[in-house]
Amino acid sequence: MQGQVIQLLSGYYDIAVGDQVIRTRAAGNLRQKKVSPIAGDFVEFTPAPDNGELGYLTRVLPRRNALVRPPVANVDQAMVITAAAEPTFATNLLDRFLVYLAGQRIAGVITVTKTDLLDDTAFARLQAVMNGYERIGYQVHLPRQPFGAADLEALRSVLNGRLTIFTGQTGAGKSTLLNHLVPDLSLATAAISKSLNRGKHTTRKTTLYRAYGGWWRTRQVFPR
């Protein structure tokens, strides 16, 4: 059978097949090949026999891409969470994310947060800048006020059928946006002064999460 690894847990590999998640272990010959399955891997596995033992993951299929920290393979797209203010918006920072993603063959979806902190003049200026990104083919989400119902629905529909990474500078508002997008979540959010000063991250999870027909997780690593 084939499926996608959505969680690694002390030697176990949880594999999604449709709506089901099946826990497996790595087959002995897989260990010899020195292939370490990571989250997002499409794999072949032998299902569990009827005696209560686990199934075995037997083969990792070729990866389309693979990120490190956290290790995630076959990422379809990244929501690049970009603050309109606090921290100050900068196109060169956004461009670094987009160039990095393009190099990994990951589609970038630009999502601007904290637009409530802009006056109308500053918002119009930002709109003009974002029009430029749209013209070169990027999907841009730039609501006048954050977390409107229609905007959240539009973002949810982007998740369907894909593996999405939520990325962006610390303090950009990833956890806050996700708490609105996926209401039964409760991710820790932190004031940027704290998280920037201490260099501390409030998000540390290695699992892929299911929502609105897709899988997602956050990633904070900054592209160099």
Ligand X SMILES: Nc1nc2c(ncn2[C@@H]2O[C@H](COP(=O)(O)OP(=O)(O)OP(=O)(O)O)[C@@H](O)[C@H]2O)c(=O)[nH]1
Number of residues in contact with ligand X under rule CB under 6 A: 22
Total residues at interface with Mg ion (CB under 5 A): 4
Q: In this complex, which beta carbon is closest to ligand X, that of residue 84 or of residue 208?
A: 84
> Considering CB distances under 5 to 8 angstroms, the limit depending on partner class, which of ligand X, Mg ion, none binds residue 192?
ligand X
CB of 82 to Mg ion, least distance (A): 14
Residues 219 and 165: beta-carbon distance below 8 Å: yes
Residue among 2, 63, 95, 116 that touches ligand X (CB under 6 A): 116
C-alpha dihedral over 99, 160, 65, 129, to 10 degrees? 0
Q: How many CA atoms lie within 13 A of 47 on its CB side?
A: 9
Contact between residue 130 and residue 142 where contact means Cβ atoms under 8 Å apart: yes
CA distances from 56 to 9, 17, 18, 208 (A): 14, 14, 18, 20
Instruction: Using the minimum distance from each CB to ligand X, give the nearer residue, 13 or 166.
Output: 166
Contact 115, 202 (CB under 8 A): no
- For residue 146, state whether it binds ligand X (rule: CB under 6 A): yes
Q: From the list 175, 181, 208, 215, which residue makes contact with ligand X (rule: CB under 6 A)?
A: 175
Residue 24 lies near Mg ion (rule: CB under 5 A): no
The HSE-up count of residue 145 (CA atoms within 13 Å, CB side) is 3
Distance CA(171)–CA(191), nearest Å, equals 7
Among 3, 37, 171, 214, binds ligand X (CB under 6 A): 171
Q: Quick one: 138 exposed, middle or buried, by C-beta within 10 A (0-12, 13-18, 19+)?
A: middle
Piece in contact with Mg ion (CB under 5 A), picked from 9-17, 29-37, 76-84, 198-206: 198-206
Query: Which positions from 180 to 199 touch ligand X by CB under 6 A, shown as an x/- string?
Result: ---------xxxx--x----
Q: Measured from the CB of residue 154, what is the shortest distance to ligand X in angstroms?
A: 16
Angle between helices 174-181 and 149-159 (to 10 degrees): 90
Indicate which single residue of 175, 177, 214, 217 sits in contact with Mg ion (rule: CB under 5 A).
Answer: 175
Residues that bind ligand X (CB under 6 A): 113-114, 116-117, 146, 168, 170-176, 189-192, 195, 201-203, 220
